[in-house]
Amino acid sequence: MEAGVRSSSAYAVEAHGLIKQFGSRRGLDGVDLAVPAGAFLSIFGPNGAGKTTLLRMLALLSRPTRGSLSILGVDALDDPDALRSRIGLISHKSMLYGDLTARENLEFFSSLYGEPNRARIDELLRLVELDHRRNDCVRTYSRGMQQRLSIARALVNDPDLVLLDEPYSGLDPHAAELFDELIGRVRDGRTFIMVSHDLRKGYDMCTHALILARGKVVVCAEKAQIDAAAFRDLYLATVGMGVA
Q: Where does this chain bind other proteins (CB under 8 A)?
A: 59-63, 81-82, 84-85, 87-89, 91, 93-100, 104, 108-109, 111-115, 117, 120, 123-124, 127, 137, 153, 155, 157-158, 186, 188
Give 95-137 as a 3 state SS string: CCCCCCEHHHHHHHHHHCCCCCCHHHHHHHHHHCCCHHHCCCE
Query: Shortest distance, CB of residue 199 to other proteins, whole angstroms?
Result: 25
Residue 199 — φ and ψ, nearest 5°? -60, -45
Closer CB to other proteins, 111 or 236, in the complex: 111
Rounded Cα distance between 99 and 83, Å, is: 30
CB of 121 to other proteins, least distance (A): 10
Q: How far is CA 140 from CA 42, 137, 150, 171, in A?
A: 31, 6, 15, 16
| Pairwise CA distance, residues 209 & 206, whole Å | 7
Which residue's CB is nearer to other proteins, number 31 or number 152? 152
Q: Pick the closer one to other proteins by CB: 89 or 176.
A: 89
CB of 238 to other proteins, least distance (A): 27
| 35 strand-pairing partners | 13
Distance of alpha carbon 155 from alpha carbon 85, whole angstroms: 10
CB of 112 to other proteins, least distance (A): 4
List Cβ neighbours of 112 (8 Å cut-off, separation of 6 or more).
Answer: none
* Calpha distance 196→34 (Å, rounded): 19
- Give me the least distance between CB of 59 and other proteins, in Å please: 6
Max CA distance (Å), the chain: 51
Residues 79, 126: contact at Cβ < 8 Å? no
Q: Shortest gap between Cβ of 1 and other proteins (angstroms)?
A: 17
Give all strands of the β-sheet with 208-213 in edge-to-edge order. 87-91, 161-165, 191-195, 40-44, 208-213, 216-222
Nearer to other proteins, 100 or 219 (CB): 100
In angstroms, give the least distance from the CB of 95 to other proteins.
3
Residue among 42 and 105 whose Cβ is closer to other proteins: 105
